[in-house]
Chains A and B, each alone.
Chain A
């Protein structure tokens, strides 16, 4: 892994670019060196080859980079557009100056090279060439004249020794290095050489003999070595001697050293100048090609560096953009690497701080949300398990919150109730009209706190509710101004029916107990005393005194009995109805009672309307029997003396109210209820009859209320009185706190 990391680090862009820079400089140095040294041919070749390969590599890298950048741009990757802009700017800043420099460099190069070849210098060289050639021609002409003279004076002889002597004399006279006589076929006839060590003459070429055959003199200047030159003069001889017709006299003479040195120098200079002159074009081409190679390499290197620097410069910005997108997508806590100490590094560092703080804030918010949810769940649990009903109305008066206790107490539907105001709810639940009107009045009063009572016919019968309302100021999250708060109305109501009933029972029971104790106790001694007086004094008095005594003691005993009955009756009235609700067939109970009162009802026209759909109700049978019995008896008493006594008894299911109720109506055609006692008809000791304890209707009312029902009287359609009893089908145990709110949810029968 370390090796891989090292390789990856070593091949990083910065190192590659540094290596390319170094190679570029070395390449330039080598090219210049190869151009300046004559012996650097192979160096120049390999330098140009590697340079070209390097340029090709740079072009490949540039194309790859551009293609990669293009793909990033097409895919709209973060940072690609900015990179392209920066690369474009760098290109603009690089290519134009480069182009200008390259163009002017080419111009300067051409002009510079051309300036080396001054016309005057070229003319001087040509003149020197001509001068040298002319002077050498002059020397050659002189030698030619001498050789021609010698050729003319060459005696015609067939003696070889004489010929050799003649040639030697010619050689010595003319200071030739060699004199030779040739036949036209190239055969050497005789020769004389200055160097005796050389055995053979310097045979001329075929062109010499060609000239001889046409009788032309052949002359030439021949370089022997670098600094040695010789004249070769071959003169044709036409002689008939020696049995041949054509001959050639060749004379070879070295150019004097002084002239040879000068000629060699001139020759070298001429060659060099001719070479340079000829190489002007190739020189320009080479220089331009080298300039192009180096410029191209430099330009490509600059562009690659521009691409790399652009990417490097944009990388932090791209990271920031990517990090911003992550945060926007919800990936909080994104941390970016800080790779520099400049402004971008500061920006990246700030971004990391911001991201961390956002993450912390998000965690705090999440915790707060959890706490809020926990609090909400706690509140919901409290509201759910609260025995009191809770309504929360918003500032517009619409119901927002309704707990389960409220649903149970009032027998309403949460879904049908939420979002409605008190008026709508009172219209929807007519049996609860009084309650919702009360609530509406409390809300509209805008009092910080209010309290009232309300009696409703709930799901389980008549209920007495204590209603309390208060204003709740809460901060609304939807408000732009955090100072504004919303005002909600919280209405809490409790069903105190059982409590009141228990209080009433307790009060009546206490009264009854006290009555029983305080009143009933002295009655017995009074009665006993009166009887004792009668017994003791009865034998001692007679006549009128005895009658008075008997009448008085009898009166005392009767009144004591009456008082006892009154106390017993009151005790019975005050006695709470014990629970033990059992299913009761109400129709059957009525039939049984009618049968019981058959005798007293013989003269009465009965109208019995007992609905078959009346279900069994949960009630105390003996208590209800007492109720119905009292009402029937009261009806019979009211029909006494009537011409057409009619009695109507009907049962049926109560409609238009929530919950399930059974109505029992006992209507007579009597004289009706006197107006003076109409309001207190069901109070104890209120009666329109001369006789009676006055507790009958009070007991009826009490028993019915113990069954969570209600009883009221109204004028009958037949002119008499109609006693209306409404009993719940599933009355709850209301005796002395047996009421259990939880059973409201399970009581669904």
Chain B
């Protein structure tokens, strides 16, 4: 037990020491939730592949030396190219309407903005203090799943924010 306490104190001290550095590097929530798609992913989107982004809202819980995120809410955003109009369409799972964007970056920025708005909404409710955006590889077309598992270019994960 004394060794565990010593370890916890060291961890806390290390964290506090790194906090200034961390704080200096701390970015806004928008920066953290910014979606950066690799060239391979962009090419896939331009070739009709639909991307599904999972937005998970959780409450961070600490238990002694461990911590976990208790998921509270979940939303999905679909990003797909409309070939006839050469536009990028973003759909939210709980809305029937969709947003159209001329560029993929605008579409991905919209997703981030929506995720932040929803986070603020849930955060005000008091049961959410973290949000995370990830690309759902399981919803990719079958032939592309294996490649997405094996390569890192398909890894889109903002991590739990704010950090």
Contact = CB atoms under 8 A, between A and B. Distances in A.
A354 interface: no
A282 B146 contact: yes
Given A224-B97, A275-B47, A278-B47, A45 B145 contact: yes
A279 B143 contact: yes
Contact of B142 (A38, A42, A222, A274): A38
Most chain B Cβ neighbours within 10 Å, of A271, A280, A285, A290:
A271
Interface centre among A38, A41, A44, A205 (most CB of B within 10 A): A41
A270 B85 CA distance: 12
A36 B142 contact: yes
A221 B84 contact: yes
A223 B146 contact: no
A34 interface: yes
B98 A225 contact: yes
Interface stretch (B8-16, B21-29, B57-65, B133-141): B133-141
Contact of B89 (A129, A223, A274, A289): A223
Given A205-B102, A223-B98, A275 B146 contact: no
A271 B144 contact: no
A48 B150 CA distance: 11
Given A222-B100, A266-B84, A282 B143 contact: yes
B5 to A, nearest CB: 38
A207 interface: yes
Count class of interface residues, chain B? 20 to 34
A536 to B, nearest CB: 161
A283 B140 CA distance: 12
Interface in A233-289: 263, 266-267, 270-275, 277-280, 282-283, 285-287, 289
Contacts of B149: 45, 48
A129 B82 CA distance: 11
A274 B84 contact: no
Contacts of A221: 84-85, 87
Contacts of A132: 84
B48 A274 contact: yes
Contact of A263 (B50, B84, B145, B146): B84
Contact of A285 (B84, B139, B141, B147): B147
B85 A223 contact: yes
B146 A278 contact: no
Contacts of A41: 136-140, 142, 145
Contacts of B83: 129, 267, 270-271, 274
A220 interface: yes
Nearest to A135: B84
A160 B101 CA distance: 32
B142 A220 contact: no
A50 to B, nearest CB: 13
A416 interface: no
Looking at chain A, what size class is its interface with the partner chain? 35 or more
A580 interface: no
A611 interface: no
Given A272-B48, A289-B146, A220 B87 contact: yes
Contacts of B87: 220-223
A267 B146 contact: no
Contact of B147 (A36, A40, A282): A282
Interface string A658-696: 000000000000000000000000000000000000000
Chain A CB within 10 Å, residue with most, of B82, B83, B89, B136: B83
Given A205-B102, A223-B87, A286-B147, A271 B142 contact: no
A205 B110 CA distance: 13
B94 interface: no
Contacts of B48: 270-275, 278
Contacts of A553: none
A133 B85 CA distance: 8
Nearest to A133: B84
B80 A271 contact: yes
Interface string A413-440: 0000000000000000000000000000
Contacts of B139: 41
A423 B145 CA distance: 111
A711 B44 CA distance: 143
Interface in A53-93: none
A336 interface: no
B49 interface: yes
Contacts of A286: 142-147
B18 interface: no
A35 B140 CA distance: 11
B96 A283 contact: no
B43 interface: yes
A278 B96 contact: no
Contacts of B85: 220-223, 229
A37 interface: yes
A129 B48 CA distance: 13
16 contacts: A35-B143, A38-B142, A41-B137, A41-B140, A44-B138, A45-B145, A45-B149, A129-B83, A224-B98, A266-B84, A271-B48, A271-B81, A274-B83, A279-B144, A282-B146, A282-B147
In the A-B complex, list the 6 residue pairs whose CB atoms are closest, starting with the nearest.
Answer: A41-B138, A274-B48, A283-B143, A278-B47, A271-B48, A275-B48
Given A274-B47, A279-B49, 16 more contacts: A41-B138, A41-B139, A41-B145, A44-B145, A129-B83, A136-B84, A224-B97, A225-B96, A229-B85, A273-B48, A274-B48, A277-B47, A278-B44, A283-B143, A286-B143, A290-B146
